[in-house]
């Protein structure tokens, strides 16, 4: 997030740092006693390491982000790899990172965090590191180092173990349910309900999170901008919601879990006057419901 850290001061020729890293408390979270699984204990340490690295670079925003994830891991919360939608990634990097996240979630979902917790935690932390450096996109060596760390750890994750006969273990309390991700958003061209390559990347990420989080339903809401007739836009928003819902079902989401709605131009993401073209309003949101 360093793109938001350097602000030029007009007429002064100076640069100032925002998100002051000196105020980020990494020591307290580093000293926390982990209450989670082996995977969460290692994840706690890995995120503390990333937070300290960003703190040394005066990147207060990302240092705090990794501190928060370290704290959640130490408390035994279910902490997953960062969704692509939370970072402003360059277009030429999205495909590789999207596939890497999908593959990582697949291994975690199949038990990799339990079978090889050190490798799984390292892979997740290095994936988040890769995402963070790729968003900044100004330090090729750091991007390559994070990606290499992810690739090495990912290759060591095992998802199967020998079956050993044992006495039935006492029943344990069920772990807290995984938190639902922020809504995914698919964007459309003007007067269009077609799904482009970027839309399919978003939908595949949403499906990967669906398998990991296991929500009871996905609420698919269609919207338009204010161009054109209001009633026409109601219909267009319905077509957009249908296209997204059908694509999710094709990927593997059960039909009964997909709940579609249409809103036309009644719930704008960006307030605009009537007749205004606005990409951020031409959208379908995908909200996970527990």
Structure confidence by residue, pLDDT tens digits, 9-39: 223 333 333 446 667 889 999 999 988 899 9
Helix, strand, coil shares, percent, the chain, to 5: 50, 10, 35
Closest C-alpha among 21, 84, 72, 1 to residue 43 = 72
Look up residue 51 and give its two tokens.
Answer: 């937070």
Residue 171 has pLDDT above 50, yes or no: yes
Alpha-carbon gap, residue 59 to 21, rounded angstroms? 6
Share of the chain above pLDDT 70, in %: 87
> Which sequence spans correspond to the domains of the chain?
2-80+90-155, 184-289
Instruction: Please name every residue paired with 284 in a beta bridge, in sequence order, or none if there are none.
Output: 186, 222
Residue 284: per-residue pLDDT: 97
In contact, 290 and 177? CB cutoff 8 Å: yes
The residue-averaged pLDDT of 154-176 equals 69
Residue 172: per-residue pLDDT: 73
Look up residue 75 and give its two tokens.
Answer: 């408390």
Higher pLDDT, 180 or 123: 123
Question: What is the pTM assigned to this prediction?
Answer: 0.54
CATH of domain 184-289: 3.30.1330.60
The residue-averaged pLDDT of 206-218 equals 92
The residue-averaged pLDDT of 213-241 equals 95
Alpha-carbon gap, residue 290 to 287, rounded angstroms? 10
Residue 31: per-residue pLDDT: 92
């Amino acid at each position: 997030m360093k793109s938001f850290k350097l602000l030029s001061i007009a007429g002064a020729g100076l640069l100032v740092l925002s998100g002051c890293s000196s105020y980020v408390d990494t020591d307290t979270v580093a000293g926390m006693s982990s209450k989670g699984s082996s995977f969460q204990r290692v994840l706690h340490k890995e995120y503390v390491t990333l937070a300290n690295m960003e703190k040394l670079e005066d990147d207060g925003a990302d240092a705090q982000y990794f501190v928060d994830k370290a704290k959640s891991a130490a408390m035994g919360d279910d902490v997953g790899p960062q969704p692509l939608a939370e970072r402003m990634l360059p277009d030429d990097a999205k495909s590789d990172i999207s596939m890497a996240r999908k593959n990582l979630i697949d291994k975690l979902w199949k038990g990799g965090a339990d079978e090889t917790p050190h490798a799984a935690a390292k892979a997740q932390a290095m994936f988040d590191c890769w995402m963070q450096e790729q968003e900044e996109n100004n330090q090729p060596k750091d991007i390559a180092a994070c990606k290499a760390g992810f690739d090495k750890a990912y290759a060591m994750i095992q998802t199967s173990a020998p079956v050993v006969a044992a006495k039935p273990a006492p029943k344990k309390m069920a772990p807290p349910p995984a938190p639902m991700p922020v809504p995914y958003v698919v964007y459309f061209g003007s007067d269009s309900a077609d799904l482009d390559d970027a839309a399919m990347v978003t939908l595949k990420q949403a499906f990967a999170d669906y398998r990991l989080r296991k929500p009871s339903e996905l609420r698919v809401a269609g919207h338009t901008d204010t161009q054109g007739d209001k009633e026409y836009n109601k219909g267009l928003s319905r077509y957009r919601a249908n296209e997204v819902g059908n694509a999710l079902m094709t990927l593997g989401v059960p039909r009964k879990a997909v709940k579609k709605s249409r809103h036309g131009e009644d719930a704008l993401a960006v307030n605009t006057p009537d007749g205004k073209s606005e990409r951020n309003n031409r959208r379908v949101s995908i909200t996970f419901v527990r």
